[in-house]
Chain A
Amino acid sequence: MDLHFGDSKPSDEERAAVDALLGPPESSWEGADRSDADLRWARGGRAARDRRDLLLPGLHAVNDRIGWISEGALDYLCRRLTVPPAEAYGVATFYSMFAVKPRPATVLHVCTDLACASAGAAELCAGVEARLGPGSGVGVERGPCLGLCERAPAALAVRAGDPVRTAVSAPATVEAAVLAASAPDSAPEEPSAALAVPQAGQDGLVLLRRVGVVDPASLDDYRAHGGYAALRRAFELGPAEVIREVTDAGLVGRGGAAFPTGRKWQATASRPDRPHHLVCNADESEPGTFKDRVIMEGDPYALVESMTIAAYAVGAHQGYLYLRGEYPRALERMSHAIEQARARGLLGDDVLGQGYAFDIEIRRGAGAYICGEETALFNSIEGYRGEPRSKPPFPVEKGLFGRPTAENNVETLVNVLPVLTMGAQAYAAIGTAKSTGPKLFCVSGSVDRPGVYELPFGATLGELLELAGVRERLRAVLLGGAAGGFVRPDERDIPLTFEGTRQAGTTLGSGVVMAFDDTVPLPRLLLRIAEFFRDESCGQCVPCRVGTVRQEEALHRIVARTGAAAADDIALLREVGRAMRDASICGLGQSAWNAVESAIDRLGAYE
C-alpha cells in the first residue's frame, strides 16, 4: 500500500483529540516494524493497519471535540492508522452525525420521525429554527428517530468540546429545546428510565422487573436483585448445556428476523476457527423502537451479564456492544456498568474466578439505520462503510473480522437471564408453543401511557392497546416500525406472536406498536416513511438506491390524490416495491415498501 497523504495539517486541538484516543505517536514511524539495526528503515505498517477498527472511534473523537472533521484532522487520523484518506473520507461521509464541512460546535438534532411528527415535530422545528437562526452558534438538523418516542417530540443537543456535552429535551417545547442547545450543561436532567415503563414495579414482570427498582449505577444493588445468578448457573452448566437450555427454551431473536438463538449459538460455537466474537446489536434505529435504550438505561448490568453468558456459550473472549450514537445516556450507563464489572472481576481475565476471560468493548454508531443490519454493523466496527455484505457466508461462519460471530440484539440477550434462572421449561411455558417467553413492545403515538410494555407472547393487539390507554378515533396501527406494516383499528384480536402476525399477513418486527388517530394525515405519514428509507439506504445496490427515491417521488405525486387519479402511481409503486423486495441485497431495501403497501391494501390509504 503506497499511501498518499495531502499536505493539510491538523490543528493542535484536532491532533490532541486523536492522540487522546490512540496515544501520542511513538515516532514518525509509528505503526511500522523497525529493527534495532536500522532505525531509519520502516517496513509495512501492519501494526497500525491492524487498528483499522479504531477509525470510527477516531472520527468520533475529532467530531466530538471540534464538531466536524477537517481535512487536516482526517489526514492525521489516517496517518496514525495507515488508512487511505479516500477510504476514511468515504467512511466519514457515510454517517449522518459526522460533518466534513465546518458547522457550528453545537448541533440540535430534532426528530421528525413518525411518533414525533404526529406530536408536532414540524412546529417544533419551525419554532426552534426561528429562535436559533444564523449567528446563534447552533446548527439545527432534522433527523430520523431518536428513540425517544414515548416522550415525543424529541430533540438531542450535542455540543462539541472536551468533553463533548449532550442534552436531551423530550417532550420538547421550543423553549426547552433552545435551552438544551444553548446551555447543555444546565439543561434539566432527563426523567428516569423507569418513567418509560408504565408497568414499572408491577409483579410478574420478567425482563423489566428491575427497571425502576434497581439503581442503574450500582452493581451491588443489581446483585441484591438477583443479578449474576444466571451467570453462576451458566458456569455450573458449561457452554454446551447453556446452548441446550437456550434452544429448549425456544428463544428466538427479537430484532425482527426471529431466528432461533440456540441454533445461532451452536453454529458459532462449533466453528473450528478462532477467535469467536460476540456482538451485541444495540443500534435500534427502527422508528418507534426504544426498548433497548430503556433496558440499557434502567438495568445496564443485565446486559453485561447476558453478554458474558452468551460469550461463554459461543466461546468468545471479546464482546462488542455496538451502541447507537444517538443514545448518550445509555452510553454513559453502559460504560459505567462495564467499568464496575471489570473492577469487580465480573469481566476481565478471570470472570467470577472461573478462569474464563471475557471483556466488552463499546463501539458507538454515528447515525446510520443500516448499521442495525448485522453485516453492515461488522463493517462499521471494522472501520469500513456500513454497507451490508452479501450472505452467504453467514456471520456464524465469517462475521466480525472474518471470524465466527454470534450477533444478538439487546432484548434477545436479556432474555437469556430468565432462561437460565427459571430453566428452559418454565421459560417455554410463557407465551405460546411457537413464540415462547415474554416480549417487549414499544407503544407510542395516540395513547395515554406510551412506553415499553412487557407481555407474554400471545396477548392480543387490543389488550396491549388497552394497557397503554389507546385514544378514541384510532385510524391505524403500525406494527414493527417503518419496515413493518399497518393494520386496521378493528384488527385488535391479532395475537402478538410471530406466527399470529404472519397469519394475519403482517409482522411483529422489532415490537413497535404505534397508534395513529384520525388527526394524523396518513399520506404524510407514508411520505415520511418513504423519506426515511431514501435517507437511510446505503446506496450499494440499485433496487434500493434508486427504488427508494422513485417510491418517494410517486408518493409525493399522489399525496393529495385518491381513487382513479392515484391508480397509475400505485401500480408503479407496486412494481418498484416488488423488485426492491426481491432483488435488494439486504433487509432495508427488501422491507422499504412494506408499510406503504399495507397502508394501501389494508387501510385504503388512497381510496
Chain B
Amino acid sequence: MTAIPLGVPRRLVEFTVDGQEARVPEGSTILDACRAAGKDVPTLCQGDTLTPKNACRVCVVEVEGARTLVPACSRGAEPGMEVRTDTERARHSRRLVLELLASSVDLSTTPKAAGWIKEYEAKPDRFGPDAARLNEEPKVDNDLYVRDYDKCILCYKCVDACGDQWQNTFAISVVGRGFDARIAVEHDAPLTDSACVYCGNCVEVCPTGALSFKSEFDMRAAGTWDESAQTETTTVCAYCGVGCNLTLHVQDNEIVKVTSPHDNPVTHGNLCIKGRFGYQHVQNRD
C-alpha cells in the first residue's frame, strides 16, 4: 500500500481582492491568491522554486491600512485583508519601476517585459540619453555560460539558487552597494577561479537572460537563435541513478540548451554540471 502524504490540514484565510471575496489556504501569498482569482500581477523577481526576495517591486499592490504599497509575491494573505491590485497608485509605482529598470538595464530578453511596458505606458527614455546604466560587455570566461551584467536586474535569484536554497555552493553574492551593486564571485575574479561548480542552476532561475547558456549566447550573436523552431523533450538523465528530468531544447536537430522541469519533485528544476551541460556526446556524429 502506498501512503499518500496529506500534510497538515490548512485553514482557509478569507479576504478580498479588488472587492471580490477570496479564500486561500493559510500560508498563501497575495500573489497566489490573485492568480487563483484569475488576476495576474506582473512580477520579475518572483520565482516558483525560490523564496521571494521582493526586490524588483513590480508586483506591488495596495493593502487597506498599509502606509506603503506591499509586494504581492511575498506578503502573506491575512484574514480580513482588503487588497487592491489595480489602483492608480499601484499602477503608478509599477510603471515607474518598469521605467527605472528599463532605463538602466537591457530587458530585451526578459519574457513579458515588453508587454508590461506597453500595458503600463512606461517610457524608459524620458530620463534622457545620459541616464546612468552599466553598459558593460558580456563576460565570456568559460565554455558553459555567459554573464551579461547589462541585463541583470539584481533580483538575487541566482544568489539564492547557488546558496542555501538549492545548490549550497555559495559561489556568488551581491557585492558593492547601491547602483554599483552587482553579482560577483569572491574577489570579483573570473568564474573559472571561483567556487562555481557549473551546475547552471543560476541560469535556470535567471529571469532576464543576464545568465545564459554559451550555446544560446553564441546563436543569438550569430542571429540563428529561433525559439519558435525549437522543440522541447523531457527525458531522464542517463549519467547516474538519481533520475533527474532533463528538458532538451532542440533546434535543427541539435540540442541547444538543457533545462529541467520546476514541478519535478526530485529536482525542482535543479541539475548538476553533467545533466545541464554534458550533452555533446549525444550529438557527436563522427
Report the separation of the CA atoms of residues A368 and B176 in the bound assembly, to the nearest whole angstrom. 12
* Inter-chain contacts of B104 with A (CB < 8 A): 546, 549
| A542 x B131 contact (CB < 8 A) | no
Minimum CB–CB distance from B90 to chain A (whole Å) comes to 8
Indicate which residue in B57, B75, B193, B195 contacts A3 across the interface (CB closer than 8 Å). B195
| A546 x B60 contact (CB < 8 A) | no
Indicate which residue in B71, B127, B197 contacts A553 across the interface (CB closer than 8 Å). B127
- A-side interface residues, number (CB < 8 Å): 52
A572 at the interface (CB under 8 A from B): yes
| A539 x B169 contact (CB < 8 A) | no
Please give me the residue from chain A that is nearest to B193 by CB atom: A6
Indicate which residue in A2, A537, A547 contacts B168 across the interface (CB closer than 8 Å). A2
Interface size of B as a range: 35 or more
* Inter-chain contacts of B92 with A (CB < 8 A): 575, 578-579, 582
| A539 x B127 contact (CB < 8 A) | no
| A545 x B187 contact (CB < 8 A) | no
Report the separation of the CA atoms of residues A570 and B267 in the bound assembly, to the nearest whole angstrom. 51
Of the candidate stretches B108-116, B178-186, B258-266, the one touching chain A is B178-186
Minimum CB–CB distance from A382 to chain B (whole Å) comes to 14
| A86 x B71 contact (CB < 8 A) | no
B215 at the interface (CB under 8 A from A): no
B68 at the interface (CB under 8 A from A): yes
A498 at the interface (CB under 8 A from B): no
Minimum CB–CB distance from B68 to chain A (whole Å) comes to 6
Minimum CB–CB distance from A407 to chain B (whole Å) comes to 19
| B154 x A85 contact (CB < 8 A) | no
Please give me the residue from chain B that is nearest to A577 by CB atom: B96
Indicate which residue in B97, B132, B180, B195 contacts A583 across the interface (CB closer than 8 Å). B97
Given contacts A93-B176, A543-B93, contact A86 B127 (CB under 8 A): no
B170 at the interface (CB under 8 A from A): yes
Minimum CB–CB distance from B277 to chain A (whole Å) comes to 19
Please give me the residue from chain A that is nearest to B89 by CB atom: A582
* Inter-chain contacts of A385 with B (CB < 8 A): 174
Minimum CB–CB distance from B14 to chain A (whole Å) comes to 19
* Inter-chain contacts of B189 with A (CB < 8 A): 6
Report the separation of the CA atoms of residues A219 and B186 in the bound assembly, to the nearest whole angstrom. 46
Report the separation of the CA atoms of residues A543 and B188 in the bound assembly, to the nearest whole angstrom. 26
| B184 x A545 contact (CB < 8 A) | no
* Inter-chain contacts of B65 with A (CB < 8 A): none
B143 at the interface (CB under 8 A from A): no
Interface of chain B residues 148 through 193 with chain A (CB within 8 A): 153-154, 156, 163, 168-181, 184-189, 193
| B100 x A86 contact (CB < 8 A) | no
* Inter-chain contacts of A546 with B (CB < 8 A): 100-101, 103-104, 179
* Inter-chain contacts of B56 with A (CB < 8 A): 541-542
* Inter-chain contacts of A519 with B (CB < 8 A): none
Please give me the residue from chain A that is nearest to B187 by CB atom: A71
| A86 x B93 contact (CB < 8 A) | no
Indicate which residue in B54, B128, B194 contacts A86 across the interface (CB closer than 8 Å). B194
A182 at the interface (CB under 8 A from B): no
Interface of chain B residues 77 through 126 with chain A (CB within 8 A): 89, 92-93, 96-97, 100-101, 103-104, 126
* Inter-chain contacts of A582 with B (CB < 8 A): 60, 68-69, 89, 92-93
B256 at the interface (CB under 8 A from A): no
A9 at the interface (CB under 8 A from B): no
A540 at the interface (CB under 8 A from B): yes
Of B68, B168, B169, B173, the most chain A CB neighbours within 10 A belong to: B173
Given contacts A1-B170, A89-B188, contact A579 B177 (CB under 8 A): no
Report the separation of the CA atoms of residues A385 and B146 in the bound assembly, to the nearest whole angstrom. 26
| B173 x A90 contact (CB < 8 A) | yes
Report the separation of the CA atoms of residues A129 and B168 in the bound assembly, to the nearest whole angstrom. 46
Please give me the residue from chain A that is nearest to B60 by CB atom: A583
Indicate which residue in B54, B127, B172, B195 contacts A585 across the interface (CB closer than 8 Å). B54
Of A86, A557, A585, the most chain B CB neighbours within 10 A belong to: A86
A538 at the interface (CB under 8 A from B): yes
Please give me the residue from chain A that is nearest to B130 by CB atom: A553
| A579 x B96 contact (CB < 8 A) | yes
Contact with B along A546-587 (1 / 0, CB 8 A): 111110011001000000000000001001101101111100
| A4 x B194 contact (CB < 8 A) | yes
| A86 x B132 contact (CB < 8 A) | no
B41 at the interface (CB under 8 A from A): no
| A590 x B68 contact (CB < 8 A) | yes
Interface of chain A residues 1 through 35 with chain B (CB within 8 A): 1-4, 6
Minimum CB–CB distance from B117 to chain A (whole Å) comes to 14
Given contacts A579-B96, A590-B68, contact A93 B175 (CB under 8 A): yes
B49 at the interface (CB under 8 A from A): no
| B177 x A84 contact (CB < 8 A) | no
Given contacts A93-B176, A578-B92, contact A86 B185 (CB under 8 A): yes
B74 at the interface (CB under 8 A from A): yes
Minimum CB–CB distance from A543 to chain B (whole Å) comes to 6
* Inter-chain contacts of A584 with B (CB < 8 A): 57, 68
| A535 x B178 contact (CB < 8 A) | yes
* Inter-chain contacts of B181 with A (CB < 8 A): 538-540, 545
Minimum CB–CB distance from A192 to chain B (whole Å) comes to 35
| A545 x B103 contact (CB < 8 A) | no
Report the separation of the CA atoms of residues A585 and B71 in the bound assembly, to the nearest whole angstrom. 9
| A89 x B153 contact (CB < 8 A) | no
Interface of chain A residues 101 through 120 with chain B (CB within 8 A): none
Minimum CB–CB distance from A394 to chain B (whole Å) comes to 13
Minimum CB–CB distance from A40 to chain B (whole Å) comes to 24
| B55 x A86 contact (CB < 8 A) | no
| A74 x B187 contact (CB < 8 A) | yes
Report the separation of the CA atoms of residues A4 and B127 in the bound assembly, to the nearest whole angstrom. 43
Report the separation of the CA atoms of residues A553 and B194 in the bound assembly, to the nearest whole angstrom. 36
Of A6, A85, A583, the most chain B CB neighbours within 10 A belong to: A583
| 9 sampled A-B residue pairs with Cβ under 8 A | A6-B193, A86-B171, A87-B173, A541-B55, A547-B100, A578-B92, A578-B96, A579-B100, A582-B93
Other contacts beyond A539-B179, A549-B132: 19, CB < 8 A: A3-B170, A6-B189, A74-B186, A85-B186, A86-B170, A89-B185, A90-B173, A93-B177, A94-B177, A534-B178, A536-B177, A542-B97, A543-B57, A546-B179, A550-B131, A553-B127, A575-B96, A576-B100, A585-B57
- Which residues in B have some Cβ–Cβ distance to A below 8 Å? 54-58, 60, 68-69, 71, 74-75, 89, 92-93, 96-97, 100-101, 103-104, 126-128, 130-132, 153-154, 156, 163, 168-181, 184-189, 193-195, 197
Shortest 5 CB-CB contacts between residues of A and residues of B: A84-B170, A539-B181, A90-B173, A4-B195, A579-B96
- Which residues in A have some Cβ–Cβ distance to B below 8 Å? 1-4, 6, 71, 74-75, 84-90, 93-94, 96, 100, 368, 385, 390, 534-543, 545-550, 553-554, 557, 572, 575-576, 578-579, 581-585, 590
